[in-house]
Chain A
Amino acid sequence: MPGLGRYICAVAVVGVLASTLWTPAAWGDDDGNVTCTDSGLCINVAKKSKRSTPPLKSRGSASRDRGADDQAEANERLSDARKKFSAAYAQYDRQLASYNRCMRTFDPSLSNTGCGNVPTPPTAPEFDSDTFSGRGNQPTITPGQAAAIAVARLQLPTIAPGIGPSPNLNPWDMAAVGYPLWLWADGATHVGPIADSVAGLSVSLEADVSSLTFRMGDGHTINCSGTGHLWTTAVEPGRKSPNCGYSYAKPSLPDDTYTVAAIANWAVTWTSNGQSGVINVPAVDTTELPVGELQVLVR
């Protein structure tokens, strides 16, 4: 092995020595630095300010070549940026799907760990249109991706669980077992229209609460279409909600309260660049509800 090593090394040394014997005159057809290709095309790759006419092409094509060079470079950068963004967006999309799944099945009475923070979307690549003229100057992200980023920026309001009649309206400060409670979305249920711009794409958004889910804290779940019905003192006592209500079978008192969670599904309609779609965004809020038993003494 040492003999082989000496031989290889000697060859390398000879190579280095031979290279020092090269003179500028030996470099291709041009007096500058050229790169030649399999087809025999040689192009000067010296600094652009000293660009000379490349061999095998007409003088008139020099500016076209410069444009082609710039475009190729722009396309490459654009392509790299798109790839990076696509990878980051795919990861964000997975995280968001996982977060949304958790939110939709979240029951505070079973788990107090929550679903963590809302994932943050990646920053969309922004390019100067002057740099990216021509073929490479296309939107760097899809309208759907732009919409998802705009929706993440929207910060939709949480919906508090509306429960009536309120426990505060009776002397015992509690809801009663067996009494029909009305449930509704307590808060704004419509947002928009809102205009945003992501990576040069205009996005228009409009959000509505499309459905409500209540986790009642006793293990039961109530799904309501729409936003439920507001209970008022005008409601006849003991009357049931027309579309979103619940009656507890067991008390939480005297030791505890029920943690009631309202999971609102925001349906965000987006429009961008001639395309449109709907993105569903869950939002959760909770309230504590003491539930006790009312006993009537009959003589």
Chain B
Amino acid sequence: MSVGAVVTCCALATACTPEPASTNAPAPSPAATTPTESQIERHMRLDYEAAEAAYRANRAEQARLYQVGGTTRATSAMRATATDSYLRVTLEALRRIKKAGWHASGTTEVVGLVARGGWKENEVGLTSCEDSSVVRFFDHSGKDVTPSTNRRYVQALKVVKRSGRWKVSEAITAKVSSFEGQPCQV
């Protein structure tokens, strides 16, 4: 399910309207208002869509970097889509892969992604369910060195807008044995 769909439904049902929508709302513009979507709802929807796009672009870049054997420096694609602790942690993991001479096969599956965690000007919350258990790691000799740790995560993501670009800023991880009943599971 896309984030945009959830936002749209939230816009229809006031019961699940994300919190501080009214405090930082831009001035309404009659020209942009439609009977079904107010200016602020449109603003929120576009923000969530942009945040989701940034997150997915970052995931794709991470997957690419894992497969090529990590990196020691943040690529421009990483910097364009991530910042703060999220960038630091993901970069650190990729550095270790590089240092160890490992590379990955397979791609983390984003099982679900929902708009959750609130919205305010230049900051939105997303929750994603990521299954990295399908990602295998190999050392330089081709030996499978995949960690045995549980790598099914529910990530509470904070995505922020910096200098006009949406970037994943923070992720708080919960390891789960399955995604059954998790908030991002549809």
Contacts and interface: CB of A to CB of B under 8 A. Distances in A.
Nearest to B73: A75
Interface residues on A, range: 35 or more
A18 to B, nearest CB: 5
Contacts of B5: 8
Given A5-B8, A9-B16, A22-B174, A43 B79 contact: no
A45 B85 contact: yes
Contacts of A69: 85, 88, 92
A256 B40 CA distance: 66
B145 to A, nearest CB: 10
B173 A34 contact: yes
A31 interface: no
Contact of B66 (A33, A39, A65): A39
A12 B174 contact: no
10 contacts: A18-B182, A18-B183, A34-B173, A36-B153, A37-B93, A38-B135, A41-B96, A72-B92, A75-B74, A76-B74
Interface of A: 5, 8-9, 11-16, 18-19, 22, 26-29, 33-43, 45, 56, 65, 68-69, 72-73, 75-76, 79-80
Interface in B73-119: 73-74, 79, 83-93, 95-97, 104, 108, 114-116
A5 B63 CA distance: 33
Given A13-B16, A40-B149, A69-B92, 16 more contacts: A11-B186, A12-B115, A15-B184, A18-B183, A26-B176, A38-B108, A38-B130, A40-B132, A43-B92, A45-B172, A68-B88, A72-B88, A72-B91, A72-B92, A75-B73, A76-B74
Contacts of A27: 172-174
B114 A12 contact: yes
B136 to A, nearest CB: 11
Contacts of B116: 12, 15-16, 19
Contacts of B1: 8, 11
